[in-house]
Structure 1
Amino acid sequence: MRRQTRRQIIVFAVIGVVNTATYYVPYLLLLTRFPYLVAHILATLLSMTGSFFLNAKFTYRTRPTWRKFLIFPLTNAANFLVTTVGVYALVDLLHVGSRFAPLLASLAAIPVTFVVSRWIMLPTAGTTPTRAESA
């Protein structure tokens, strides 16, 4: 694995922790007024925006553009699908508390989210090395 890719994975993981807090705090606040799935959806939309800008600047060191911003939800589509199914399964099928289910469900989505976000933010990452990667 190239040094640049390793750095991206580490930074992505750190931002993931920040993003989890950005999701979880609003989720808990929204949970006091809305059903858990509504709280989950609204908190996801909020954290998705923060995730885009943090990953553009720190993980991939790329300029955020409207095009990337508009397709960035594909990154979170996989995350959203995995976490939503996970939250539902944990709460309704396994009877895990709705306050903790999103944290558990998000663990399964991390690898998928990294691959999709890298593909969006660095469209040529899988084809040819960038100058930084070949140095």
Structure 2
Amino acid sequence: MNIMDKIKKIFLNKEFIFFIIIGVINTFNGVVFSFIYSSLLNENIAFILGYISGLVVSYILNSYITFKEKLAFTKFIKFAISYIPNFIIQNIVVIITFNILGLHKLIAYCLAAIIGIPVTFILLKFFTFKK
């Protein structure tokens, strides 16, 4: 099997489609949570808290819908670890777009939310929910 076939096998399936749909829901949740928190807190802290809030919802939805597995504390820890690279990428995007470029915080949160999807899916599939 060549590299293109492997990539197709990983990303062209029902799991990835559900992951994307849940990602859209999670993106909305994370942006809304971040925006709400930003009315009380610094924008960067608000982003972190919004990210964590969205992460909890995402774990529940991905467990039941995408990977069809029961909730477990150890899987939640692996899930959170799988999102560390995505969090770092997104936080850098918020810092660059909001703090350096001066874009509106809502735009910064939205741009940050769409970065890192493939990396996160691979980590979830092969680390968190591997069978």
Normalised to the residue count of structure 1, the TM-score between the two structures is 0.84
Superimposed CA distance per residue, residues 11-39 of structure 1 (whole angstroms, 9 cap, x where no aligned partner): 00000011111111111111111111110
Show the counterpart of 2:83: 76
Amino acid at match of 1:67: T
C-alpha change, 1:63 and 1:4, in structure 2 (3 Å) is farther
- Work out whether residues 75 and 128 of structure 2, in 8 Å CA contact, stay in contact via their aligned partners in 1: yes
State the SS of the aligned residue for 2:52: helix
- Work out whether residues 91 and 97 of structure 1, in 8 Å CA contact, stay in contact via their aligned partners in 2: yes
Greater CA deviation, 40-49 or 102-111?
102-111
Which residues of 2 match residues 49-88 of structure 1 at below 5 A? 49-88=56-95
Matched, 1:101 2:108: yes
1:122 is displaced (CA, Å) by 2.6
Greater CA deviation, 80-89 or 69-78?
69-78
Q: Distance in 1 between matches of 2:73 and 2:10?
A: 29
2:34 alignment partner, one of 24, 27, 33: 27
1:81 is displaced (CA, Å) by 0.3
- Work out whether residues 23 and 43 of structure 1, in 8 Å CA contact, stay in contact via their aligned partners in 2: yes
- Work out whether residues 78 and 127 of structure 2, in 8 Å CA contact, stay in contact via their aligned partners in 1: yes
Greater CA deviation, 34-43 or 61-70?
61-70
Q: Distance in 2 between matches of 1:3 and 1:75?
A: 17
1:62 is displaced (CA, Å) by 1.5
1:123 is displaced (CA, Å) by 2.3
C-alpha change, 1:4 and 1:54, in structure 2 (3 Å) is same
Q: Distance in 2 between matches of 1:112 and 1:3?
A: 12
Amino acid at match of 1:91: F
Aligned length: 124
State the SS of the aligned residue for 1:83: helix
Amino acid at match of 1:8: E
Runs (5+) with no aligned partner, structure 2: 1-7
